[in-house]
Amino acid sequence: MGLVWAAVPVLLSTFAASAQVPGNQSLTGKYYFRQVSLGTDGVNPGNLTDPRSLTGSISFDGSGHFSFTAQQLTGMTAAVAQTGSGAYAIDSGGFIVLDSPLRTGAKINARFGPEAVVGSSTESADNTFDLFVAIPAPASGAIFAGPYTAVSLEFPGGATPNMRASQFTLSQSTAGNLQPITVTGHAVNISRGQPQSQIVSGATYTVAPDGTGTLTAGSAANTQLLSGTRALYLSASGNILLGGSTVPGGHDILIAVKGITGASNATWNASFFGAGLRFDATGVLGYAGSLAARGQQKVTWSKRIKALGVGAFDFTGINGYTLNPDGTGTVDLTNVVLGASGKAFVGAAMSTADPGAYEIYFGVQVPARAGTGVFLDPLGVTSAASFAPAGNPIAPGEFIALFGSGLAKSLQTATVPYPKTLNGVTVTINGVAAPLYFVSAGQINCVVPYSITGPTASIIVQNGTNSNTVTVPVAATAPGVFTADQSGSGIGAMRHADATASIINASNPASPGETIQIYLTGMGAVNPSVADGTAGTITTLYQTISDVVVLVAGQPATVLFKGLAPGFPGLYQFNVTLPTFLGSTGNLPLAIQTLNAYHDQVDIPIH
């Protein structure tokens, strides 16, 4: 096990020109909201024992309190009026802890963006899974000015036998009337879930000056992908439509974004907060997360997922996408629509390759953050290997990157053992000084002290004066594989475990059954313990405590060694024997799974 990989700092972050960060005061005024929650028996994936839906208005006071007036559906009973109140708290990155309006005692893991609040109750301990969306309400003068492209997820009767997902565009023909709607989607009870298209004629809409309205697409019918009447809400910007049924058993959610023209793959270029709800053969799950799109035909997700039978875990992954000129396109096995002048997206699962998946997701651009002096971007703490979007936790011993402005007076790099102060800069994590590898005005690379434990950690940069405090989640592991081009995606940093120890790449691929070395970070505590800022050695095997599974094209590899690599603090090494039969060649996905995380951002070339 020789030293084969060194992390090189790469500046990958830019900052908005605003002079503020989010806080409770950012969320104020009247919003319209829809929350769908699926209660299960915790055993049978298809048994929804307690479906609930809530739709109406919610008012935030800017000081951490809200009240709501809404209509609630429970099971197959008629809608009943509901009022209530609760609390919320927003941190400087826009992450929100929000009391659930629908289930007393539950907390929604939500995120704030200028176009919407999105979230899911990922930390609740029960067997419920939900999606929450709220959009700013117009004070007056709301106008339906399409086209809007919508996605919808429905559980008619609060059950799975008729569930359906669809995508369609709403364009007005005359006031109150819609042009014929081409609906693409799939339903369990139609053609065994295979995607298809239907035409809906005679659909109508209403939108009042306050943004409230209705969408009517004929009488409700189980053979139609889109039918019945829904409450409809238009956002203050006019960019988002939100809707849902209030008839008995109408557990659904509709989200639409205003259309764009002239889009290309390069148009999707921003950071977003998102959330989603999914049902497939394994059961139901809800998630809240962040997405980074850089206009290069791939998006990186960082998700906090709560799944039936699994509980909550952290996921990072990369998916390829394509966009058409109208903003519609695909992301992996889902349809996606980028709209609202590039400020929001919606998506739904409806692929012939995955007919059993029913999913909806929604994302909005993150809020602006900036500051003077020593400023640490509240969304700028990330793995120095994966560069996973904000919200992915840090782990003890992880090599991380911090982005901001005024972080150091000049660039400087340290040697092993890494010092606690470098070029006059220190970084404290929960009050513990972190070993520093690299400092500059815009970026710091450091190693998380091994003593740091969850659930959260507060990070401060000191450079003459203290920076703002940034709070991030902490987990036992946060795996991130280094990559050949140091982008967080593409071919992973791996070597052949033979006498040459040559780098694995497209011209020097690995073979099925071969033993290789993988280089990563974020694997947490090791045994025996090692001092902060020091590295593994060739004489002592510092092995990770956490269990790990390495998957290549979904097949498990045999892990021979998992621990610190010699020479560089924060650098871990896995020695694994690849599966003997992979079924295909080329760049195959390589994933790392631990008890609390799943990392799927890199490939390995196989011949």
How far is residue 60's CA from residue 30's CA, in Å, rounded to a whole number? 7
pLDDT at residue 4, as a whole number = 35
pLDDT at residue 219, as a whole number = 86
User: How confident is the model over 570-594, as pLDDT tens digits?
Assistant: 999 999 999 999 889 999 999 999 9
Distances (CA, A) of 280 to 90, 124, 165, 349, 533: 32, 21, 12, 10, 44
pLDDT at residue 2, as a whole number = 36
Which residues does the chain have with pLDDT short of 50?
1-19
Domain ranges of the chain: 148-257, 375-473, 480-606
Fold equal for 375-473 and 480-606? yes
- Only one residue has tokens 């802890």, namely 97
Torsion-angle region of 409 (φ positive above 0: left; ψ -120 to 50: alpha; else: beta): alpha
Max distance between CA atoms of the chain, in angstroms, equals 78
How far is residue 101's CA from residue 118's CA, in Å, rounded to a whole number? 14
CATH number of this structure's domain 375-473, picked from the four choices 3.40.50.1220, 3.30.70.20, 2.60.40.10, 3.40.50.2020: 2.60.40.10
Helix, strand, coil in percent for the chain, rounding step 5: 0, 55, 45
Provide the token pair at 536.
């593994």
pLDDT at residue 268, as a whole number = 98
pLDDT at residue 15, as a whole number = 34
CB 578 within 8 A of CB 561: no
How far is residue 583's CA from residue 512's CA, in Å, rounded to a whole number? 10
Tell me the three state secondary structure of residue 309. coil
In sequence order, what are the beta bridge partners of 58? 31, 68
Strands annotated E in 247-340: 250-258, 269-280, 283-294, 298-307, 311-323, 328-331, 334-339
> What is the total residue count of the chain?
607
CB 138 within 8 A of CB 284: no
The bridge status of strand 597-606 relative to strand 311-323 is parallel
The bridge status of strand 597-606 relative to strand 490-491 is parallel
Short-list 376, 395, 370, CA closest to 451: 395
CB 503 within 8 A of CB 482: no
pLDDT at residue 223, as a whole number = 87
Tell me the three state secondary structure of residue 341. helix
pLDDT at residue 50, as a whole number = 96
Domain 480-606 grouped into CATH 2.40.360:
no
